[in-house]
């Protein structure tokens, strides 16, 4: 005599078994919020409250929701990507590692993702910048190792493409930048050495092609 087949154990009340790829609609059903509200919460919209954003992000993390980047780009024309254009020169790696870590920390818990676009010492530095703009592979660019008259900055500004630089230019063009005060650094270094009795001070200057070297030398 055959034994009756056992029934599968039922899931505890309130627990959802999400077997299909999670979508905005999945989060909407679990949270009781409208799909539009869920979308705006995930995009950190200013009109959505902090508690709502926290709830939506928690549910998204719990069910493994990952936005479809192709779909986002199709709907909005945006990639939600910021790319950092970096030289591959070995001597700069320690500095660039800290730069990457700092930018990534600032973008954490935002809708933006950081990518790295490398350029090589034997490569035209304009090539990776043109690639990003022409392919639309990022919403904004971050540059470093700026030059006094930087063709990359001029190119991006002329095309109205969002960008910021780590370092300044001296080309009379307003743009977003972040920089260490190399002028103050050079002045303080010389004054400190002079107070200690130094009379013949020699500066080992950074690469003269970069703007910060001129700021440091001018101050000294």
- Map out the domains of the chain as residue ranges: 24-66, 77-178, 182-219
pLDDT value, residue 17: 53
pLDDT value, residue 86: 93
> In angstroms, rounded to a whole number, what is the distance separating the alpha carbons of residues 67 and 70?
9
Q: What is the DSSP string of 7-48?
A: PPPPPPTT-----SPP-HHHHHHHHT--HHHHHHHHTT-TTS
Please state the length of the chain.
Answer: 220
The pTM for the full model equals 0.69
Q: Please name the residues in contact with 102: beta carbons below 8 A apart, sequence gap of 6 or more.
A: none
pLDDT value, residue 208: 72
Query: Which single residue is written with the structure tokens 């270094």?
Result: 189
Asked whether 212 and 167 are in contact (CB, 8 A), the reply is yes
pLDDT by residue, tens only, the chain of 220 residues: 544 444 444 444 444 555 678 889 999 999 999 999 998 998 888 999 999 999 999 999 899 888 777 677 767 778 999 999 998 888 777 888 999 999 999 998 888 999 999 998 889 999 999 999 999 999 999 999 899 999 999 999 999 999 999 999 989 899 999 988 878 878 888 889 889 998 888 888 777 778 877 777 777 6
pLDDT value, residue 143: 96
CATH code for the part of the protein at 77-178:
3.40.50.2300
């Amino acid at each position: 005599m055959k034994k009756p087949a056992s029934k599968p154990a039922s899931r505890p009340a309130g627990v959802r078994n999400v077997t299909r790829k999670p979508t905005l609609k999945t989060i909407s059903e679990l949270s009781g919020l409208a799909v539009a509200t869920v979308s705006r919460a995930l995009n950190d919209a200013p009109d959505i409250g902090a508690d709502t954003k926290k709830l939506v992000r928690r549910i998204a993390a719990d069910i493994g929701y990952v936005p479809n980047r192709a779909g986002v780009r199709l709907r909005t024309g945006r990639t939600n990507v910021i790319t950092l254009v970096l030289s591959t020169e070995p001597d700069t790696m320690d500095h660039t590692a800290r730069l990457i870590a700092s930018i990534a920390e600032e973008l954490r818990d935002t809708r933006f993702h950081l990518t790295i676009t490398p350029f090589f010492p034997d490569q035209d530095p304009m090539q990776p910048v043109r690639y990003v703009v022409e392919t639309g592979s990022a919403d904004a660019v971050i540059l470093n190792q700026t030059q006094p008259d930087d063709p990359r900055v001029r190119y991006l500004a002329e095309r109205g493409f969002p960008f910021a630089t780590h370092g300044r230019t001296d080309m009379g063009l307003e743009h977003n930048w972040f920089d260490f005060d190399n002028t103050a650094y050079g002045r303080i270094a010389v004054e400190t050495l002079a107070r200690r009795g130094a009379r013949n001070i020699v500066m080992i200057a950074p690469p003269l092609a970069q703007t910060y070297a001129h700021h440091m030398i001018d101050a000294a």
